[in-house]
């Protein structure tokens, strides 16, 4: 009976360890939101919300060795949000947006078959926001 209980405890511990490891995700989303609509494919990601507070993470995937860049657009009626991206294990500032702000632009050229993380972090509660990111091939 002792051996059976030890096996059950060992299996439960392994399951718990794999569950808590977040399956290798580098960044974790932690947020509260209302009226949130989001999409995320390998080439584009977007999120719109009525209210938002916290951190939301999206993933884009460069599936080839070709050079790519990310074009982005964002609007925010109320609040402050910082957006970062991580391509080579370095969290870099992409843009900041404040009350009644809008922004659009593109990143530098990125090369390599890798996951690109987009991290949206609010500074408190934000209202009526829309963010869009598209992975595009470079013309080089």
3-state secondary structure 70-91: EEEEEEEEECCEEEEEECCCCE
The CATH number of the domain holding residue 86 is 2.60.120.260
Residue 21 counted as domain residue: no
Residue range(s) defining the domain that contains residue 102: 26-137
Neighbours of 52 (CB within 10 A): 26
Residue 34 counted as domain residue: yes
Task: State the Cα–Cα distance between residues 72 and 52, nearest whole angstrom.
Answer: 19
pLDDT along the chain (140 residues), means of 10: 64 52 69 89 92 94 84 96 90 94 89 86 94 85
- Provide the domain count of the chain: 1
Residue 14 counted as domain residue: no
Burial bucket for residue 10 (CB in 10 Å: 0-12, 13-18, 19+): exposed
Residue 13 counted as domain residue: no
Residue 40 counted as domain residue: yes
Residue 38 counted as domain residue: yes
Task: State the Cα–Cα distance between residues 34 and 106, nearest whole angstrom.
Answer: 28
Report DSSP state, residue 134: E
- The β-bridge relationship of strands 110-111 and 101-106 is unpaired
For 52, the 3-state DSSP assignment is strand
Q: Are 119 and 91 in contact (CB under 8 A)?
A: yes
- Residue 119 phi/psi, 5-degree rounding, is -120, 120
- Which among 21, 60, 35 has a CA at the least distance from the CA of 129? 35
Q: Are 36 and 52 in contact (CB under 8 A)?
A: yes
**pTM (2 decimals)?**
0.77
Residue 63 counted as domain residue: yes
């Amino acid at each position: 009976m002792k051996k059976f209980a030890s096996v059950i405890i060992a299996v439960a511990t392994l399951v718990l360890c794999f569950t808590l490891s977040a399956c290798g995700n580098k960044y974790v989303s932690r947020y509260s939101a209302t009226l949130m609509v989001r999409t995320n494919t390998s080439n584009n990601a977007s999120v719109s919300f009525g209210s938002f507070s916290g951190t939301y993470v999206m993933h884009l995937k460069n599936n080839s060795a070709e050079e790519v860049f990310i074009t982005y657009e964002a609007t925010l009626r109320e609040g402050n949000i910082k957006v970062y991206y991580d391509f080579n294990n370095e969290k870099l500032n992409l843009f900041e947006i404040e009350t009644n702000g809008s922004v659009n632009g593109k990143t530098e050229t990125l090369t390599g078959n890798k996951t690109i993380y987009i991290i949206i972090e609010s500074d408190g509660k934000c209202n009526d926001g829309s963010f869009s990111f598209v992975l595009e091939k470079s013309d080089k």
